[in-house]
Amino acid sequence: MPQKRKHVMIEVEIVKLPTPDSKRIKLFTLGNNNCGELGLGYDVEEMKYPRHVESLADFNIIKISCGSLHMAALTRDGKVITWGALGRVTKSKDPNATDKNVPAFAQGLDDMVIVKVVCGSNITLTLSEKGINKQSMFVNYGPTSHLKITDITVGENHVLVLTTNGYLYTFGCMDSYQLGRRISIRKPNGLMLTPVKILSRIKMIFARGNHSFAIDENGIIYAWGQNMDGQCGILLPNPIITPMKLEFFKNSIRVNQISMGLHHTLVLLENGEVYSFSSTEYGQLGIGVSEGNRKSPLIATGDHHSMAVNDENKVYTWGFGETYALGNQSKNDELLLVKINCEEFEEIIEVGGGSQYSVILSSYRS
């Protein structure tokens, strides 16, 4: 007989619009700007060191999300700013400005307060009190209207949806089984919103590339999807078709965050320790002797590089370097951690990476 889900009531905390203190925030970007993903306009081809995106100064942003070649930011009042390879025109404060390389208000969200925005390789989604909206221009995603959603995350071309009672749903591309289910005659594609068969209730979700992770109420990590380079952390052939327990962390300190590139994964524990696994092609695992033994409160990944902030508020990068995304002012890949030097950084709030760029969100006193 097939197992049934345990009927244990839990309530997953709903994502809320962050309420930051009086500090103002600056966004710094670096790397390649072929598609305007740095937010610096057409005149800048690449940036070898962190540069302040001055055009965002009046938007009061508090959160960021990185796609492969585009970006989105969330403002204090729940509005969404987008720029880069959007495939559409954004709504600028300047009525004469229609340049997609310039940060501007996203369309279709005028009457909504957005609490979260997430970027995949080829999609952007927002979560509001009214549900999920997806680009382009933002429209409501009807199949989720009956769900009470607490969180969303997105991979290259697939989406994970978490409800307040801990149930997980997926939709999107499933060519690498990143939706956590088998292809069937009745459901030959991933266009239908479908529940993922995990017996316990889920508390946290993560996705990037073509693989996914979920953490349940007991701290158990589940992984599925593309595993060609071991990015799921499971020693089984590619792919992982349905969610499997990641046994390595079953007796460890609680996991705070999982961040993934296309072919690698970082795991941040509650005590600040960072673990990495999968492809070492560009050095994106950061394995080797590096400066000190610092703890990290923040981690992030681009497609082929990694980032971390240590307990002394210093930003480090490693991995693929050809596009200057590492801030080392060279095109060399870095196997070991490289510190990004920038006197303008105060308190690092968030870091992120795309296909060929990196971003740092830092506060400053107004």
302 or 252: which carries more pLDDT confidence? Answer: 302
The answer to whether residue 296 sits within a structural domain is yes
338: in domain: yes
Identity of the residue numbered 69? L
- Evaluate whether residue 5 is within a structural domain: no
- CATH number reported for the structural domain that contains residue 36 in this entry: 2.130.10.30
Of 249 and 288, more confident: 249
What percent of the chain has pLDDT above 90? 61
Q: What value does the mean pLDDT take over residues 122-136?
A: 77
11 found inside a domain: no
Which pLDDT score is estimated for 144? Answer: 81
Total count of domains within the chain: 1
Residue 314 has pLDDT above 70, yes or no: yes
Whether the predicted pLDDT of 246 surpasses 70:
yes
Give every CB contact of residue 313 below 8 A, 6+ residues apart in sequence.
Answer: 345, 347, 348
Name the nearest CA neighbour of 227 among 237, 214, 216: 237
Residues of the chain above pLDDT 70, percent = 83
pLDDT of 289 over the 60 cut: no
Which pLDDT tens digit goes with each residue over 94-118? 444 445 678 999 888 888 899 999 9
pLDDT band at 20 (very low <50, low <70, confident <90, very high): low
Per the structure, the complete domain to which residue 343 belongs is given by 24-364
Yes or no: say if 61 and 73 are a contact pair by the CB < 8 Å rule: yes
pLDDT of residue 96: 44
9 part of a folded domain? no
Predicted confidence at residue 99, as pLDDT, reads 55
- The dihedral region occupied by 134, where left means phi > 0, alpha psi between -120 and 50, and beta the remainder, is beta
Q: Judge whether 13 lies within some domain.
A: no
Residue 343 covered by a domain: yes
Q: What is the mean pLDDT of the chain?
A: 85
Cα separation, 345 vs 363, whole angstroms: 7
pLDDT at 2: 39
pLDDT band at residue 192, thresholds of 50, 70 and 90? confident
| Mean pLDDT, rounded, for 331-354 | 91
Label residues 127-166 b or e (16+ Cβ within 10 Å = b): bbeebbbbbeebeebeebeebebbbbbbbbbbbbbbbeeb
pLDDT surpasses 70 at 6: no
**Is this prediction's pTM over 0.75?**
yes
Give the mean pLDDT of 49-66: 92
Examine residue 14 and state whether it is found in any structural domain, yes or no.
Answer: no
Kindly report, residue by residue over 27-38, the tens digit of the pLDDT. Answer: 999 999 999 999
Q: For residues 214 and 298, what is the distance between their CA atoms, to the nearest angstrom?
A: 19
